[in-house]
Chain A
């Protein structure tokens, strides 16, 4: 691939970063800060599904997720979600579809279900 590796910030991670009451908030903030450091040196790209990002940060680009690029969800992605093997959880399925279609290999999440797939999951300690 020509781009640096993408790290997908999954919904639970975005929630943990933005919500001080979240149980994983401190770890998420420390982890996000480390990811931003890597983003700044162009070692990685930060991405998030655009619907997730909209829910947590709105459309403003000058916020805590300013370095995060949006993965735009199209009809074909929603169609793929309906046809996926995990269609019973559309949110989870959509994240997997977007990760597959955009060649994402690393995901920042607190959802342990992502450990079942060939993905590098950060921050693992909290997920486990």
Chain B
């Protein structure tokens, strides 16, 4: 924060008129608020009765309905920008789904031949074993905690696992509705995660832990692992809503495991929103979430620990890269402005006295 030198004013703030005394009210503002609250209620009812929407197209429709509620009464230009945003958003997911499928089949080069990278089977397992002194964390966790009876930790693990399908979309929806600038900042980082993830899925197809113990596959390097990611979530009364659209985009790939996007998505949201949180204990609580996610993924046999750690590394790298790029853009624009200003601006002591510095106090939530 820069030092605050509030500009002097000639009339006490209390005696001055608010802008609303001269500017007519935007009647769509309460309408938008009402619609968004109605949407929230409707979404919760849907969640309870039909289940959590997890396939991409249903989620896109849910996000689209929210955006209509949030943008009612805004200018045509804002709607145009929103349309472009949505096209990018859908193209991003479509590219992700299609590329993700290539992890299994390799990449076709102009239809002439295919490049297929070898599936990593033992390497990730060995890294995990090296980190955990010769133990397989997935096996150890399931041996100690998994039983046919659903316990509270199954509920926590299942619910945490399922947040992957809605948590980043809720964050995007909130940002879309409140600040397009912040939405852009978020989506740059998010799209980078997906892009890096897709490249790694193709170049480094990785067998997940459950596959190494599954009799349907030829590996048999681990004892059979229970793959019951959703049971804790279903146990508390929620379902998982999928419909026919899922078939159209069913490119889910079992060996698209490195990096873990579950771990990445669980980190990107707290990491992004951290800038508005002042209290250390709340920050610490937020960062428990990605740790819970990784522990859940390992316990549920979905990922290796190294998958999650690489997912986190990619997330941090995306933030580092875009923070630098955004700062560079600000510096470039500032330099352009300074370069175009007359020479008198370089006068260290102008005759007219120092310029007022704008208070940034209102940044604080």
Contact A84-B22, Cβ < 8 Å, known A5-B362, A64-B341, A66-B333:
yes
Whether the pair B352, A124 counts as a contact (CB closer than 8 A) is: no
Per the 8 Å Cβ criterion, residues 18-43 of A in contact with B are 20, 25-27, 29-43
Whether the pair A120, B341 counts as a contact (CB closer than 8 A) is: no
B19 to chain A, nearest CB (A): 4
Whether the pair A62, B17 counts as a contact (CB closer than 8 A) is: no
Whether the pair A100, B358 counts as a contact (CB closer than 8 A) is: no
Find chain B residues with CB under 8 A from A128 CB: 10
Whether the pair A74, B77 counts as a contact (CB closer than 8 A) is: yes
| A59 contacts chain B at the CB level, 8 A cutoff | no
A117 to chain B, nearest CB (A): 5
Residue in A93, A99, A117 whose CB lies within 8 Å of B17? A117
Contact A86-B22, Cβ < 8 Å, known A5-B363, A40-B330, A115-B9:
yes
Whether the pair B336, A63 counts as a contact (CB closer than 8 A) is: yes
Whether the pair A65, B337 counts as a contact (CB closer than 8 A) is: yes
Whether the pair B75, A39 counts as a contact (CB closer than 8 A) is: no
Residue in A34, A64, A100 whose CB lies within 8 Å of B23? A100
Contact A4-B363, Cβ < 8 Å, known A40-B330, A43-B1, A118-B17:
yes
| Complex: A41 Cα to B360 Cα, angstroms | 11
Residue in B76, B175, B332, B358 whose CB lies within 8 Å of A120? B358
Find chain B residues with CB under 8 A from A72 CB: 75, 77
Residue in B22, B178, B357 whose CB lies within 8 Å of A2? B178
Most buried by A among B7, B175, B337, B357: B337
Residue in A20, A36, A99, A123 whose CB lies within 8 Å of B19? A99
Q: Mark B292-326, 1 if CB is under 8 A from A, else 0.
A: 00000000000000000000000000000000000
Q: Which stretch of B98-106, B127-135, B191-199, B343-351 is in the interface?
A: B343-351
| B38 contacts chain A at the CB level, 8 A cutoff | no
Whether the pair B20, A3 counts as a contact (CB closer than 8 A) is: no
Residue in A27, A35, A75, A83 whose CB lies within 8 Å of B358? A35
| Complex: A40 Cα to B179 Cα, angstroms | 19
The 8 closest A-B pairs by CB, nearest first: A74-B75, A34-B355, A64-B340, A66-B336, A100-B19, A85-B22, A66-B333, A40-B334
A-B contact pairs, 22 of them (CB 8 A): A1-B179, A2-B178, A2-B182, A5-B359, A27-B355, A29-B345, A31-B355, A32-B345, A38-B357, A42-B330, A63-B337, A64-B337, A67-B334, A74-B76, A80-B24, A86-B22, A96-B22, A100-B23, A105-B362, A116-B16, A119-B19, A122-B7
User: Which B residues lie at the A interface, using CB under 8 A?
Assistant: 1-2, 6-11, 13, 16-24, 26, 73, 75-78, 175, 178-179, 181-182, 276, 327, 330-334, 336-338, 340-342, 344-345, 350-360, 362-363
Can you add 20 more A-B contacts, CB < 8 Å, to A2-B276, A38-B357, A100-B19? A1-B179, A2-B179, A5-B363, A26-B350, A30-B350, A35-B355, A39-B330, A40-B330, A44-B360, A66-B336, A75-B75, A76-B73, A93-B23, A99-B19, A116-B11, A117-B22, A118-B16, A118-B19, A124-B7, A124-B9
